[in-house]
Amino acid sequence: MAREDGRARRRGQGELEGQVLGALREADGPVTAAWVQQRLGGDLAYTTVVTILTRLLAKDVVSRERHGRSFVWTPTADVARLAALRMRRLLDGERDREAVLASFVTALPPGDEQVLRALLDIPGPDAGGTEG
């Protein structure tokens, strides 16, 4: 993680979440927050690591269980799943995201569905039922 040190202060929330989850996935079994902190190179405060782990718990990508006086953490999803969750949150939240993200297809109005099926000879779910 040496190359990350230069821009440690500029790392955003999302990047930290990804790193913490990545570290958890490299562990052999359930590990403590202190282990994660050490694994990440020690430039993060212990409380920050715990905060991020709690946030990941709320997103349902890690689980924890009590072990003595502290918790041990286990990843339940991979980094791609976390990215998918974050991407979904972005897409659901931004109304005019179309200006940035050119979508492969736009949502299809009902009338277009029949036109499209006819163009491509794809039978519809109600094929034969109605006369379009």
Residues near other proteins (CB under 8 A) are 12-15, 17-19, 21-22, 79-84, 86-91, 94, 96-113, 115-117, 119-120, 122
Q: How far is the CB of 71 from other proteins (least distance, A)?
A: 22
Q: Which is nearer to other proteins, 24 or 31 (CB)?
A: 24
2 or 105, CB closer to other proteins? 105
33: nearest Cα among 43, 42, 22, 46: 46
58/120 with CB nearer other proteins: 120
Shortest distance in whole angstroms from residue 69 CB to other proteins:
30
Bridge partners for 72 per DSSP: 65
CA atoms within 13 A on the CB side of 43: 14
Per-residue CA distances from 115 to 30, 79, 109, 123, 131 (Å): 54, 39, 10, 11, 13
Question: In angstroms, rounded to a whole number, what is the distance separating the alpha carbons of residues 24 and 108?
Answer: 41
Minimal distance in Å, beta carbon 97 to other proteins?
A: 5
Q: Based on CB atoms, which residue is closest to other proteins, 45 or 87?
A: 87
- Separation between Cα atoms, residue 66 and residue 12, nearest integer Å: 29
- Least Å distance between CB 118 and other proteins? 9
